[in-house]
Amino acid sequence: MKLLFRNFIGRIAIFSLILGAFPVCVQSHETNDSLKSAFKKNISDTDRINLLIQLSTNTDCADSLIKLKFLLDADVIVQKISWREGKMKTNSGLGEYYFSCKKDYIRAIDYHQKSFEIATLLNLHLETAFSLVQIAKSHDILGQHDLALEKLSSALALNVNSSTNMGILGDMGVIYNSIGDYRQALICYNRSLAKLDSQMHTSHKAQQLDTLTRGGLLLNIGDIYLSMSQTEKALENYNSGLKLGIALKNDFLKFFSVLGIGKAHYFKKNYPEAIKNFEAALAGSRSLKQPMYEAGILDQLANVYIATGDISKAEHYAEASLKIAESNGFNEQLPKTYTTLGKLLSLRGNHSVAVNYLQKALGYCHQTKALEDEKNVWDALSNVYKKMQQPAKALDAFEHFISLRDSVYSIDKANELVRIDLQAGFNKKQVADSLSQAAKYELKMQKQQVLTYSGFVGLVLVLLLSFFIYRNYHTQKKYNELLSKEKERHLQHIEAQSNVLTDIAYTQSHEIRGPVSTLLGLVEIFNYDDPADPENKEVLEGIASVTKRLDKIVTEVVNKENDVHNKGKFKE
């Protein structure tokens, strides 16, 4: 089911948060006159530079040459006095000039990059973050969403202040939403909302603006939930935004909230509630003098009445939408309204006029590069040609639809159109083309499977490698433990040997020395001249007694040494 105005408030509300955090001035022409008067006075060169930059900021893009001249005059003075901070400011101004007035996003990036480099060199975090955000804006418009997110992440890492971080997170949410990464978008928006709530609780300054910003964040979160088909959560956020709008008496917040509620009920196919809220939003768009939204809501109402089968009312709203879109040159709305009218005319059976409207829609899609709208046009054309019994054209239209949608459902529908083409007896070449496209898709799926299997194989190899590393580590650990135990046992053996040696030394110095001295004394008193001397018998008995004592001591020493030796052997 087609959803219009997705993320309708995102880029307005969130980028305003960031601009509110930086020194961006919007002044009246009357203020410009006072600035020019100040410029004529005797002031310093740095003051002249700041005044020229201020004058450029206050000048609309309608006077782009004057706006550019102010900046170039400022740059001349900057170069004359070699003021790096002034160069940073003029580069930033030139970047904004090429972004807003010339739509030359490449040059805008170049100038903001130069401003970023100087701000980084001067360690000016606020200006550095501002330059990164401005670069991100250009990358986003160029469709370089990865680069935009990279720059915003770098700006967020600077952590300048709560307000700046809140705005950067909001911008990241806008980009993630636009590329369909709803989970990341919700994370960014909720983080931004948490910072805002914290700021509101700690400070009473700008309370009304903070509350309005909170309402904008709630609506963005509601849009994401609606994109995720979580309509109840979407309605919860839209209704919270509506309550804030009523409390603040802010017509814009009330208008966008009611519009979101209408979209959610349309998604749920609760058409009475969708019509009621779309009608309220339509009245709001007229009260606020917002013809672009008025044209979009009228077209949406036409689609609701198509769904209910009330073709007359659907035609009334579609024609009113077309009138506003054509008179105001709303090129982004025209393909949507032409598509709706094409469907209605086809329902009336006026297929040829329906085709004309749908061809007009295609022309505007090529101008606006709106792929979603173009996809819907080709789908409608395919159905009209099918009703006209022109299966070849129906097949061609649906092949364009397939190339934009790129899904399995698209291929199934293409195969159905191929069967119609065969029944009508048309050229077999178209069958071959369709089958070729299906084969390409199949090949793409096979490549994806190969990549998936490769990933699994890689994971298995990593697990095996991890297992072998762990096993080797475990084995080495056990070996080290055994080695440590053996080392400890060996040290104990050495200690025991040392104790034995100490004991032996003690025995030699105390127990053996006594008997040896006794032996020497007995040998001295032995009568060698008269071996038959009766006293020699007592001497010999004494020698025998001392010798036995020495033998006992020596045996004890040998036993101690053997005991230590046996304990020190390795156990098998």
Q: Where along the chain do its domains lie?
A: 8-145, 312-426, 435-567
The answer to whether 102 touches 114, Cβ cutoff 8 Å, is no
The CA-atom distances, in angstroms, between 90 and each of 18, 112, 115, 324 are 20, 10, 8, 41
Select the more confidently predicted residue: 188 or 196.
188
Greatest mean pLDDT range, 105-114, 140-149, 407-416, 466-475: 105-114
Q: With bands split at pLDDT 50, 70 and 90, how would you rate the model's confidence at 396?
A: confident
* pLDDT 10s digits, 69-92: 999 999 999 999 999 999 999 999
Q: Which pTM does this prediction carry?
A: 0.57
Amino acid code (one letter) for 359? Q
Cβ burial, residue 491 (10 Å; 0-12/13-18/19+): exposed
What local confidence, expressed as pLDDT, does residue 80 receive? 92
The third-level CATH classification (topology) of the domain covering 8-145 is: 1.25.40
Region class of 570: left (phi > 0), else alpha (psi between -120 and 50), else beta: beta
Greatest mean pLDDT range, 3-17, 338-352, 427-441: 338-352
The answer to whether 343 touches 354, Cβ cutoff 8 Å, is yes
DSSP annotation of 41 reads: S
List helix spans (H) across 329-350. 334-347
Q: With bands split at pLDDT 50, 70 and 90, how would you rate the model's confidence at 11?
A: very low
Helix axes 162-178, 125-141, angle to 10 degrees: 10
The answer to which of 130-144, 164-178, 494-508 has the lowest mean pLDDT is 494-508
Q: How is residue 396 written in tokens?
A: 């061609």
* pLDDT 10s digits, 414-473: 434 433 443 454 345 444 545 455 556 566 666 666 666 666 666 777 777 777 677 777
Select the more confidently predicted residue: 132 or 375.
132
Using the predicted structure, report yes or no on whether residue 131 has a pLDDT greater than 60: yes
Q: With bands split at pLDDT 50, 70 and 90, how would you rate the model's confidence at 266?
A: very high
Q: What share of the chain is helix, strand, coil (3-state, %, to 5)?
A: 85, 0, 15
**Fold match between domain 8-145 and domain 312-426:** yes
Using the predicted structure, report yes or no on whether residue 65 has a pLDDT greater than 70: yes
Cβ burial, residue 305 (10 Å; 0-12/13-18/19+): buried
What local confidence, expressed as pLDDT, does residue 43 receive? 79
> CB count, 10 Å around CB of 57?
19
The answer to which of 113-122, 351-360, 488-497, 546-555 has the lowest mean pLDDT is 488-497
What local confidence, expressed as pLDDT, does residue 506 receive? 67
Using the predicted structure, report yes or no on whether residue 6 has a pLDDT greater than 70: no
What local confidence, expressed as pLDDT, does residue 425 receive? 43
What local confidence, expressed as pLDDT, does residue 567 receive? 61
Dihedral angle, C-alpha 76, 79, 85, 87, nearest 10 °: 60
- Report the CATH architecture of 312-426: Alpha Horseshoe (1.25)
Using the predicted structure, report yes or no on whether residue 530 has a pLDDT greater than 70: yes
The answer to which of 36-40, 175-179, 215-219, 513-517 has the lowest mean pLDDT is 36-40
Dihedral angle, C-alpha 14, 16, 20, 22, nearest 10 °: 90
What local confidence, expressed as pLDDT, does residue 4 receive? 33
Determine the Cα–Cα distance for residues 55 and 130; give it in Å rounded to an integer: 20
Instruction: Give the whole-number percent of the chain exceeding pLDDT 90.
Output: 40
The answer to which of 50-64, 288-302, 420-434 has the lowest mean pLDDT is 420-434
The answer to whether 385 touches 394, Cβ cutoff 8 Å, is yes
Mean pLDDT (whole number) for 173-200: 86
* φ and ψ of 187, to 5 deg: -60, -45
Select the more confidently predicted residue: 406 or 419.
406
Using the predicted structure, report yes or no on whether residue 16 has a pLDDT greater than 50: no
What local confidence, expressed as pLDDT, does residue 162 receive? 84
Using the predicted structure, report yes or no on whether residue 313 has a pLDDT greater than 90: yes
Q: How is residue 356 written in tokens?
A: 């004309």
- Tell me the HSE value of 408 on the side-chain side, using a 13 A CA sphere: 2
The CA-atom distances, in angstroms, between 29 and each of 20, 36, 60, 400 are 21, 10, 10, 51
What local confidence, expressed as pLDDT, does residue 88 receive? 96
Using the predicted structure, report yes or no on whether residue 540 has a pLDDT greater than 50: yes
504 Cβ contact list (under 8 Å, min separation 6)? 557, 560, 561
